[in-house]
Amino acid sequence: LPIITMTTDFGEGPFAGLMKGVIWGINPEARIVDLTHKVPPQDVRAGALVLEQARKVFEPGSIHLAVVDPGVGSERRAICARALGMYFVGPDNGLFTQALDLDPECEVRLLLNKAFFRKEISNTFHGRDIFAPVAAHLAGGADFRELGPVVKDPVLLDWPRPFQKDARLAGCILCEDSFGNLVSNLDQDTVETFLKGRTGLVSMAGLVLRGISKNYSDTSPGGIVALFNSTGYLELAVNRGNLRKKLGLDSSRIYGVPVSVSAFNSKH
């Protein structure tokens, strides 16, 4: 039976548990995994970044239920996307940008078929009343095409892509993880193709790091390293510390900080 993952900004209250009650009321066999309920409130991009990690780990057929939904009850659409062999259920606000970008065969359906909803639909908690029951029905084998008509123009976030500029590969920070490590949009393939075996020089916020490390402990405790993290993205970190705090950066100001890679032997 497929897995349903949950990604929300519900924090510490009972909302996520209430959604599980709805899922199990429809599909008592469903296996449910909490990815996180601590997406910063209403931060759609942060939610999208969680899903970007999830799509690399979960099996085909998994159902990713994501509710970061500042527009709940407004005109924003409710959708289910089928992409990369998985399903993504939630509001049409860009949460699924990366999967939709990566899969040219993706298909998006508008959630219109009330047979898959709870009987009464509140204006403020579509997670419980629409998204959870749709995910539960999909996990039980419901036909994706019966959810509703095709959506041709799902909302997509601007997703910053690395680009080459002069002798640099330019990217930016996307987010921090729970250890205060700063994660960029520079993926290992792109960086290694650019470096062609040369030693990399990583620059961010005044820091210049020579070489890309294998491990946090390639430097002594308190030292700063750049390495490819477990999702394959270039990340800057303090060995046994919190880089964001060390740099005095506010969490809300991480996104978009420029990061670049150049080759040590090139001019810089």
Residues within the interface to a second copy (CB under 8 A): 1, 3, 5, 7, 10-18, 20-22, 24-25, 28, 31, 33-36, 38, 41-42, 50, 53-54, 57-59, 62, 70-74, 122-125, 128-129, 177-179, 214-217, 227-230, 235, 240, 242
| C-beta of 5 vs 262, nearer to a second copy | 5
| C-beta of 177 vs 187, nearer to a second copy | 177
CB of 155 to a second copy, least distance (A): 15
| C-beta of 170 vs 235, nearer to a second copy | 235
CB of 261 to a second copy, least distance (A): 18
Separation between Cα atoms, residue 177 and residue 235, nearest integer Å? 10
CB of 143 to a second copy, least distance (A): 23
CB of 176 to a second copy, least distance (A): 9
CB of 172 to a second copy, least distance (A): 20
Q: Is 115 exposed, middle or buried (0-12, 13-18, 19+ CB in 10 A)?
A: exposed
| C-beta of 114 vs 268, nearer to a second copy | 114
CB of 46 to a second copy, least distance (A): 10
| C-beta of 107 vs 157, nearer to a second copy | 157
Count CB-CB contacts under 10 A for residue 225: 22
Separation between Cα atoms, residue 144 and residue 131, nearest integer Å? 13
Torsion (CA) 48, 51, 52, 54 in degrees, nearest 10 = 170
Separation between Cα atoms, residue 251 and residue 171, nearest integer Å? 18
Residue at token pair 């729970």? 178
| Nearest partner of 202 among 162, 242, 231, judged by Cα | 162
> Please, which residues have CB within 8 angstroms of residue 185's CB and are 6 or more apart in sequence?
159, 160, 161, 162, 171, 172, 173, 174, 233
Instruction: Count Cα atoms within 13 angstroms, Cβ side, for 4.
Output: 30
Separation between Cα atoms, residue 142 and residue 144, nearest integer Å? 6
| C-beta of 92 vs 129, nearer to a second copy | 129
